[in-house]
Amino acid sequence: MQQPEALTRGRQREGSPWTGLWAVVAKEMADYLTSVRMLILEALIVLTAAGTIYAASQSLRDGFGGDTFLFLKLFTTAREPLPAFVGFLGLLVPLLGIALAFDSVNGEFNQRTISKVLAQPIYRDALLFGKFLAALGALALTLTSIWLLIVGMGLLRLGVPPTGEEVVRSLWFLLVTIFYGGVWMALAMLFSIVFRQPATAALASLAVWLFFTAFWGIIASLLAQLLRPVPPGDPLALIDQVQLELALARISPNTLFTEVALATLNPTVRSLGLVLPIQLHNAVLGTPLPATQSMLLTWPHATGLIAATIVLFALGYVLFQRQEIRA
């Protein structure tokens, strides 16, 4: 079998593994910025953002939702028949992540450019990491411009600037959203290494996404019931079961993202998951948390998403190093 390039050569390899990295990043970025596929998705997201934010600001102007944290409520306020913008983000961001990467490696094979590129004085590391960075950059760029668009619309429609607190919260939310997309992007990139056909890679990524979106919640609850059965009249066992279900549900990036959205955009959320009355004893219900506290609350979620992105990338990296280049 093919020996992994990096592993057998270990540290004896000459030069930096990142030689040529920025050439790859620049080229891939340019590709993204001019590609029709990205243009369509970005247009879709912008339209969604404009539509939902407009509707939300209409509701807020009509006086629903009180008078605090108006800016954050732009993200979360739904007005029939449209869901709130965060709801859309939960769907569109994975789509964007997958669209960025499902053909990134197999595309090079299919265009027969891979052996030529790797015959240049660069390592495979630089090619793969360059593609990853460019995709992450494109994702960050798109989401940041949407964020700016929303800030602008908020200023125009609500007539009040966001408070510092709100800016911090929404920036944190932006960062988490980028890595939520990053997970799906890294997954699609992994599949683009495993599958030779881009269509297969795209379908496989969508299948995983669908699995987590539609089925994981049910499976988590079934598993919890199976693993921690609750004997009648045992409240402690019930707590146990619910906690297991929650832990299982948090394997899904969608759950993590939804919880972060909830806690970050809604300052009155003081805790995620199960809250026992005794824990609420000292807390005044309805009092908003300071931004830093909310960030602390969602810290594990953010690191979870970042770690998942890195693990998926590392997996793809190992597979790519082992791949036979002959096309």
Partner 1 sequence: MEEPVVECRNLTKQYGSLVAVDHLNLTVRKGEIFGLLGPNGAGKTTTILMLLGLTEPTSGSVRVLGLDPARQPLSVKSRVGYLPDQVGFYDGLTARENLSYIAKLNGIRGKEMQDRIRAALDQVGLSDVADRPVRTFSRGMRQRLGVAEVLIKRPQLIIMDEPTLALDPEAVREFLDLIRRLKADGITIMLSSHLLHQVQAVCDRVGLFHKGRMVLEGTVSDLAQRVLGGAYRIHVEADGGTALDEALRRLPDVVQVTRDGAQTYHIEARSDLRADVARAIVEAGGRLLALSSDVPRLDEVYTRYFQKEATYAAA
Ligand X SMILES: Nc1ncnc2c1ncn2[C@@H]1O[C@H](COP(=O)(O)OP(=O)(O)OP(=O)(O)O)[C@@H](O)[C@H]1O
**Interatomic CA distance for residues 168 and 284, integer angstroms:** 23
- Least distance (Å) from partner 1 to the CB of residue 191? 21
Residue 251, token pair as written in the block: 């394997």
Which of partner 1, ligand X, none is residue 24 near (CB under 5 to 8 Å by kind)?
Answer: partner 1
Asked if 325 is part of the footprint of partner 1 (rule: CB under 8 A), the reply reads: yes
Cα 188 → chain centroid? 12
Say how many CA atoms lie within 13 Å of 80 toward its Cβ: 0
- Least distance (Å) from partner 1 to the CB of residue 276? 58
Which of ligand X, partner 1, none is residue 281 near (CB under 5 to 8 Å by kind)?
Answer: none
Asked if 326 is part of the footprint of partner 1 (rule: CB under 8 A), the reply reads: yes
If the CB atoms of residues 80 and 324 are measured against ligand X, the closer one turns out to be: 324
| 79 SS3 class | strand
**According to CB under 6 A, which one of 62, 67, 80, 324 is a site residue for ligand X?**
324
If the CB atoms of residues 4 and 217 are measured against partner 1, the closer one turns out to be: 4
CA angle 61, 67, 72 (to 5 degrees): 80
Nearest to 256 by CA among 173, 195, 135, 325: 173
Question: Taking contact as CB under 8 A, which single stretch among the options 119-127, 158-166, 216-224, 302-310 is the one that binds partner 1?
Answer: 119-127
CB-based burial of residue 323 (10 Å sphere; 0-12 exposed, 13-18 middle, 19+ buried)? middle
Instruction: Give the per-residue contact string, 62-101, with partner 1 (x = CB under 8 A; - = no).
Output: ----------------------------------------
Nearest to 320 by CA among 164, 193, 151: 193
Asked if 37 is part of the footprint of partner 1 (rule: CB under 8 A), the reply reads: no
**Interatomic CA distance for residues 144 and 103, integer angstroms:** 24
**Interatomic CA distance for residues 36 and 222, integer angstroms:** 42
Question: Taking contact as CB under 8 A, which single stretch among the options 5-13, 160-168, 180-188, 271-279 is the one that binds partner 1?
Answer: 5-13
Asked if 80 is part of the footprint of ligand X (rule: CB under 6 A), the reply reads: no
- Least distance (Å) from ligand X to the CB of residue 10? 23
- Least distance (Å) from ligand X to the CB of residue 2? 7
**Binding footprint of ligand X on the chain (CB under 6 A):** 324, 326
